Amino acid sequence: MIKILKYGEVSNEEIFARAVPGINVEKTVADIIENVIKNGDKAVLEYNEKFDKAKLSSLLVSQEEIDEAIASVEPKFIEILKKAAANITKFHEKQKRNSFIINDEDGIVIGQKVIPVDRAGLYVPGGTAAYPSTVLMDSIPAKIAGCRQVVMVTPPNADGKINPFILAAASVAGVDKIFKVGGAQAIAALAYGTESIPKVDKIVGPGNAFVAEAKKQVFGKVSIDMIAGPSEILIVADGKSDAAVVAADLLSQAEHDKMSSAVLVTDSAELAEKVSAELEKQIPLLERAEIARASVDNNGKIIVADCIDKAIEISNEIAPEHLELCVDNPFDYLDKIRHAGSVFMGRNCPEALGDYFAGPNHTLPTVGTAKFSNPLSVDDFVKKTQYTYYTRDALEKVAEDVAYFATVEGLTAHARSAVIRTSEGRDE
């Protein structure tokens, strides 16, 4: 049963405690990465057989396989994918940055170019659940950014096939190449390249502990989006909220994983009790009841605060991945939200809208990293190059200032490089 805690009556350590994965996979992942670097496709194929029971002759998903998958999916789902893709595109198009140039002084031009990374790598989980939504969320921003190639990796089933819903989403999103590989070996292949899988510049997408550790270990060789932890939801709800609705929203994240966390912060002790009772009613009805049960019992909590303003303070300290504001006039509180991955406003905005359809990205910072990091966006797939141009006359005007600054730092070669181009510097 979920814990109910009264803020101010229990320790802050208990209020703000988070689930910490106990599995240590650092050495295992390091060995996998080393093997993939050394043996390329051979290592990847062996890991596919070992971990996914898939004996393959080729890692690349063929166009015939994609066409077959699309034909097997109900047309209704294809239409929903297209609607969701349109919403995601509309939102992310607004994130595009423009290059700029400043030339308002004679003889001086400075500026910045915004350039997409050449090749983006997208990791899509398989295993206990397949997420076509992740395909849309992670590939569409890369396409909008202008990446020359988007490469997707995802684990095969034991029969060597990829989930058809994932392939359908990849087709709608315009993914360029798809490879049958998951786990740490997939991250290693994207980071270093193999005979079949091209090396990428940026790796994005969620995964299990092995995937997260692999992303951590290859960072620096390639860029990554984030080290994702277990999924989280925090709901700030007042006493007018419907307990059954709040419980359903908590369970929408609890069903992800046994390590997921579902937290309610409310100003109503009565609502707290009702939501606890509703959770007990609803958990047995879920297909993933065992996972939700473990998540709620081990990582879930209901925090009773004095008022909604205090509830928001608590939320800001937790900095949740998903935050629902189940209150009247939610926009009155929006400016008080300082730390959250994505905010869902009002009583008619379940977090599931964000997972699939609304448009804002669902790849979000977890375990408190919303205090300093961002949802996945077009910015993740671009880099910036700056440039400077001075005429000789323009340099003459500032060369002595530059040289003086350099000598303060003890860098006399810097100083000389500034003045040697000037007439006075030449006379020396």
CA-to-CA dists, residue 313 to 236, 269, 305, angstroms: 10, 18, 10
Pairing of strands 108-116, 100-105: antiparallel
The answer to whether 175 and 94 have CB atoms below 8 angstroms apart is: no
Residue 304 forms beta bridges with which residues? 6, 266
Q: Out of 321, 324, 351, 362, which one is annotated catalytic?
A: 321
Cα-flanking dihedrals φ and ψ of residue 152, to 5°?
A: -110, 140
Q: Out of 322, 324, 351, 362, which one is annotated catalytic?
A: 322
- DSSP H/E element including 113: strand 108-116
133-166: burial string, b at 16+ Cβ within 10 Å, e else:
bbbbbbbbbbbbbebebbbbbbbbeeebebbbbb
Pairing of strands 119-123, 177-180: unpaired
- Asked about 362 being catalytic, the answer comes back as no
Alpha-carbon distance 156 to 186, whole Å? Answer: 11
Alpha-carbon distance 309 to 67, whole Å? Answer: 53
390 three-class SS: strand
Q: Sign of the C-alpha dihedral, residues 277, 325, 310, 259?
A: positive
Residue 233 forms beta bridges with which residues? 262, 322
- Asked about 322 being catalytic, the answer comes back as yes
Alpha-carbon distance 62 to 68, whole Å? Answer: 10
E strand residue ranges, 167-321: 177-180, 202-204, 223-224, 232-237, 261-266, 301-304
Alpha-carbon distance 148 to 381, whole Å? Answer: 11
Per the document, the length of the chain is: 428
Contacts of 207 (CB under 8 A, 6+ apart): 123, 125, 182, 183, 187, 215, 228
Alpha-carbon distance 303 to 340, whole Å? Answer: 18
The answer to whether 222 and 140 have CB atoms below 8 angstroms apart is: no
Instruction: Provide the token pair at 19.
Output: 């689930």
Residue 121 forms beta bridges with which residues? 151, 203
Query: Active-site residues: which are they?
Result: 321-322
